[in-house]
Amino acid sequence: MKDVSIIGSGIAGIATSIRLASKGYKVKVFEHNNYPGGKINSIELDGYKFNYGPQLLTLPNLIDELYKCAGLDPKRYFKYKRKDIHCVYFWKDGTVFTAYDDKERYLKEFQSTFDVDSKTVEKYFIKSKKKYNLTNKVFLESSLHKLSTYLSLETVRSMMQLWRLDINKSLHSLNQKSFKNQHVVQMFDRYATYNGSSPYKTPGIMSIIQHLEHSFGTYIPDEGMDSIAKHLYNLANDLGVEFFFNEAIEEILTKNNQVIGVRSAKKEITSDIVVSNMDVYHTYNKLLPHLDTPINVIKNERSSSALIFYWGINGTFPNLDLHNIIFSSNYKKEFDKIFREKDISDDPTIYINISKKDIKDHAPKDKENWYVMINVPWNEDQNWDIKKSQLRKNVINKINATLSIDINSLIETEKIITPKNISNDTLSYKGALYGSSSNSKLSAFLRHPNFTNKLKNLYFVGGSVHPGGGIPLCLLSAKIVDDIISSKD
């Protein structure tokens, strides 16, 4: 069977290794860090444990599928639970909304909080579900750059109903037309940030994200988010995948327009197939010096990044859950700052994740671990030391005013991560969390394909290529590459 070299052990790289090893391929994975998982990692500070990157688990069936590929029962290895509450939302005027998983309770809470008829909400979600059903097989589970995709029945069906997809209006315009209550509009606009985009630019088709969360639920692994990478790494190991840590790949070796292997600082490795889980920009610029970087990779607008405060809090807050949002008063201004001015609003939206709510050993008794994240622009050499200092003051003032507390006096330990740190730690180009943004109706087509016609047997997975960033889409990129490779053998 063929030899495969995978560059990077992010979630997509590990998933690809599992899929190919399950079919008998001999797989080696090379990672520049000393741990697997990429952004799915953890930080420990003075008895507090925090997730480094992703905080939200949706569509865990995609993880289960990897165990099934190996002929195993996923319930025996990776365990998770469905959350009763998706998120708790707060506004400056004192409005608080708890988004329950139970649909009847959700609609009841929606109507009592926002005075919006439940039928209006249900109608919105029905439309979002139709969009998802029309596009899922085409845009998320298949390559958009293969002719066979466009000859399928699913694609023909989707193309005939393009008018249902709201691709010619922004997500904000769609929400503004659907709801009069501005808190509801802002809450539904927020889902654009799930792929690092602006609700005022990303097309209305992105309402499928609301459908995924509302219909399929949100989850948390029993052992925390970082256990996703640990369990899949163990599965890959059991399948015979070899991992080489602290061994960055320096070049993808080619001959006669096809890959023949990779080279690290330690050795050359002959490979029939090479899969890059490295950011696609760096893959071309660092590993393929004799190949021109595709123009879209250079010109595509970056997704937003994040500035994160990891706080060990001496106290507990029953009014907060795992996921919490404190909204800005002017959402439009906030996104203009990010995408137009490459700056941070003085009144940012604040996301607070407290995994201690579900996993008790993530903080000492009667204390909580607060992961406090702000959406910010990608790294353009802004002075992050100055910006994080000013932002810290604004965030603390906003939390204090909204929750009627003095959070600064409760912070026992702290670590701050900027886009520059994210760029250095994870080799994400400019610290963008999701590669390129989805601020265009053509974004899905402008993302780099999962392969290149310039070099035979070179493939790409991860958040910087099709179908996009976030755990579910990264896992789907691995599935797409597996399908393409398998179809050739």
Whether the pLDDT of residue 385 is over 80: the answer is yes
Over residues 243-256, mean pLDDT: 97
Whose tokens are 């939206």? That residue is: 349
**Within its chain, how far is the Cα of 93 from the centroid?**
30
Q: Which amino acid is at 340?
A: R
Return the ∠ at Cα 176 (arms to 172 and 178), rounded to 5°. 115
Q: Locate the domains of the chain by residue range.
A: 3-39+227-300+447-488, 84-217, 301-426
- Alpha carbons 278 and 248: distance in angstroms, whole number: 10
pLDDT score at 402 = 97
- Report the range of poorest mean pLDDT among 126-140, 312-326, 374-388, 404-418: 126-140
- Alpha carbons 228 and 476: distance in angstroms, whole number: 15
Question: What b-and-e string marks burial along 232-243, b requiring 16 or more CB atoms within 10 Å of the CB?
Answer: bbebbeebebeb
pLDDT score at 142 = 62
Fold category of 3-39+227-300+447-488 in CATH? FAD/NAD(P)-binding domain (3.50.50)
Task: Give Cβ neighbours of residue 276 (< 8 Å, ≥ 6 apart).
Answer: 6, 7, 8, 252, 283, 287, 458, 459, 460, 461, 462
Assess contact for 438 and 289: CB atoms under 8 A.
Answer: no
pLDDT score at 133 = 85
54 is written with which tokens?
Answer: 């992703």
Over residues 415-421, mean pLDDT: 97
Over residues 121-137, mean pLDDT: 88
Backbone angles phi, psi at 27, to 5 degrees: -115, 135
- Report the range of poorest mean pLDDT among 163-167, 341-345, 425-429: 163-167
CA distances from 19 to 39, 70, 149, 259 (A): 21, 8, 21, 21
Rounded to a whole number of angstroms, the CA Rg of the chain reads 22
For residue 423, give the 3-state DSSP assignment: helix
For residue 240, give the 3-state DSSP assignment: coil
Whether the pLDDT of residue 443 is over 80: the answer is no
The secondary structure element, H or E, covering residue 15 is: helix 11-22
- Alpha carbons 161 and 187: distance in angstroms, whole number: 27
Assess contact for 448 and 465: CB atoms under 8 A.
Answer: yes
pLDDT score at 1 = 81
Backbone angles phi, psi at 97, to 5 degrees: -130, 130
DSSP 316: -
pLDDT score at 446 = 72
Whether the pLDDT of residue 195 is over 70: the answer is yes
Mean pLDDT over the full length of the chain = 93
Whose tokens are 């490795």? That residue is: 269
Q: Is residue 113 very low, low, confident or very high in pLDDT (cuts 50, 70, 90)?
A: very high
Whether the pLDDT of residue 151 is over 60: the answer is no
Choose among 3, 482, 7: nearest CA to 243. Answer: 7
Q: Is residue 7 very low, low, confident or very high in pLDDT (cuts 50, 70, 90)?
A: very high
- Alpha carbons 192 and 172: distance in angstroms, whole number: 9
For residue 17, give the 3-state DSSP assignment: helix
Choose among 274, 277, 266, 139: nearest CA to 206. Answer: 139
Sign of the Cα pseudo-torsion (352, 328, 207, 211, in order): positive
State pLDDT tens for residues 25-37: 999 999 999 999 9
Over residues 6-23, mean pLDDT: 98
pLDDT score at 200 = 97
Higher pLDDT, residue 163 or 315: 315
Whether the pLDDT of residue 141 is over 90: the answer is no
Whether the pLDDT of residue 413 is over 80: the answer is yes
State pLDDT tens for residues 64-106: 999 999 999 999 999 999 999 999 999 999 999 999 999 999 9
State pLDDT tens for residues 48-65: 999 999 999 999 999 999
Task: Give Cβ neighbours of residue 390 (< 8 Å, ≥ 6 apart).
Answer: none
- Alpha carbons 23 and 9: distance in angstroms, whole number: 19
For residue 73, give the 3-state DSSP assignment: coil
pLDDT score at 150 = 45
State pLDDT tens for residues 356-380: 999 999 999 999 999 999 999 999 9
High-pLDDT (> 90) share of the chain, %: 86
Whether the pLDDT of residue 156 is over 60: the answer is no
- Alpha carbons 114 and 95: distance in angstroms, whole number: 9
Task: Give Cβ neighbours of residue 44 (< 8 Å, ≥ 6 apart).
Answer: 50
Whether the pLDDT of residue 114 is over 50: the answer is yes
pLDDT score at 136 = 75
Backbone angles phi, psi at 465, to 5 degrees: -125, 180
CA dihedral 175, 376, 144, 274 (to 10 degrees): -160
Assess contact for 412 and 367: CB atoms under 8 A.
Answer: yes
Q: Is residue 146 very low, low, confident or very high in pLDDT (cuts 50, 70, 90)?
A: low
The secondary structure element, H or E, covering residue 105 is: helix 103-114
pLDDT score at 185 = 98
Q: Is residue 485 very low, low, confident or very high in pLDDT (cuts 50, 70, 90)?
A: very high
